[in-house]
């Protein structure tokens, strides 16, 4: 459960390990409830059968119960959020929820080839990093910290979230189904072009038609993989992830020295080096 762990560690880094407040703990809970709700909804949208090696809720019980389960978690998160009685934190989570929807819409919308990587980063921020960033920001707000410290907390969450998503997309090409707990090449087989394919398209014009038709023809996926390997796109994707990881570490070092700060730095390293 990396998201609540990030919020707890950020709170400890800000307040001291024994001084984290109950309201900051609630932020960790809210974050995980929202994240889990989005997974239930995403599995319905993507028609996924497996997640982390287990059958999805929609596979076991159908789309209706999966959607209702996600709705219920969002409702419980909203109640818990309202009980914090902190308008700025409510706004943060409202923005994060808006961004989750925007991310899905961006994923559907075809980006102009020249803006493909920029569009990908924006989509990754909306779908993954915004929730983490607004959660760490909320922890700082509830601690009564200065705007500078609030910005540092936000920057850490944003850049860690972006690194996490880019690595996730890299592992879709490099990981194994057993390690990932879901089929590899899931995105490209669903018609989605992530960083490795987008970088390959910058080197080989032949890739763009494959992206435009969402890899729908026989042999498209294999051809895209050929160009990904030939172009060195995986190394470019790894470099992109490392750049966000470095920015997250730099933000962490703006916080006071503590065991929790060290844990935040170590967490970035684990995200960058993970294999699942």
SS3 sequence, 4-18?
HHHHHHHHHHHHCCC
Mention every residue, 6+ apart, whose C-beta is less than 8 A from residue 26. 80, 83, 84
What span, in angstroms and rounded, lies between the C-alpha atoms of 111 and 117? 9
What span, in angstroms and rounded, lies between the C-alpha atoms of 71 and 132? 20
Split the chain (276 residues) into runs of 10 and give each run's mean pLDDT: 96 92 97 96 86 86 94 97 98 98 87 83 97 98 98 98 97 68 79 96 96 95 96 97 98 97 98 88
Is residue 164 within 8 Å of 193, Cβ to Cβ? Answer: no
Is residue 142 within 8 Å of 27, Cβ to Cβ? Answer: yes
Residue 175: predicted pLDDT: 73
CA dihedral 35, 92, 112, 200 (to 10 degrees): -50
CB atoms near residue 79 (< 10 Å): 9
Is residue 167 within 8 Å of 271, Cβ to Cβ? Answer: yes
String of DSSP letters for 72-128:
HHHHHHHHHHHHT--HHHHHHHHHHHHHHHHHHHHHHSPPPGGGHHHHHHHHHIIII
Measure Cα distances from 25 to 16, 93, 252 in Å. 14, 15, 20
Closest CA to 9 of 252, 276, 273: 252
Residue 180: predicted pLDDT: 46
Residue 170: predicted pLDDT: 96
What span, in angstroms and rounded, lies between the C-alpha atoms of 188 and 29? 33
What span, in angstroms and rounded, lies between the C-alpha atoms of 19 and 67? 38
Closest CA to 11 of 128, 150, 126: 150
Q: Where would I find the H helices in the chain?
A: 2-15, 22-46, 57-61, 63-83, 87-108, 116-124, 130-142, 147-174, 177-180, 186-189, 195-203, 207-212, 220-231, 233-252, 259-273
Counting beta carbons within 10 angstroms of the beta carbon of residue 199, is it exposed (0 to 12), middle (13 to 18) or buried (19 or more)? buried
């Amino acid at each position: 459960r990396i998201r609540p762990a990030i919020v707890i560690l950020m709170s400890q880094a800000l307040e001291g390990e024994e001084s984290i407040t109950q309201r900051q703990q609630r932020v960790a809970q809210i974050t995980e409830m929202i994240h889990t709700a989005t997974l239930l909804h995403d599995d319905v949208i993507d028609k996924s059968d497996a997640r982390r090696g287990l059958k999805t809720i929609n596979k076991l019980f159908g789309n209706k119960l999966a959607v209702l389960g996600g709705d219920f978690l969002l409702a419980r998160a909203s109640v818990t959020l309202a009980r914090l009685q902190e308008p700025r934190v409510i706004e943060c989570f409202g923005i994060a929820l808006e961004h989750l929807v925007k991310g899905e819409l961006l994923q559907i919308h075809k980006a102009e080839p020249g803006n493909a990587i920029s569009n990908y980063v924006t989509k990754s921020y909306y779908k993954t990093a915004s929730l983490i960033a607004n959660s760490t920001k909320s922890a700082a707000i509830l601690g009564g910290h200065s705007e500078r410290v609030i910005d540092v907390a936000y920057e850490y969450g944003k850049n860690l979230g972006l690194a996490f998503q880019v690595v996730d997309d890299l592992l879709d090409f490099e990981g194994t189904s057993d390690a990932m707990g879901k089929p590899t090449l899931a995105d490209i087989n669903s018609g989605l072009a992530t960083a490795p394919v987008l970088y390959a398209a910058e080197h080989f014009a032949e890739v763009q038609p494959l992206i435009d038709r969402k890899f729908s023809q026989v042999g498209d996926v294999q051809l895209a993989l050929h160009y990904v390997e030939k172009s060195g796109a995986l190394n470019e994707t790894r470099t992109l992830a490392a750049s966000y990881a470095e920015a997250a570490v730099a933000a962490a070092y703006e916080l006071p020295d503590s065991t929790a700060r060290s844990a935040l730095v170590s967490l970035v390293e684990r995200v960058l080096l993970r294999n699942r």
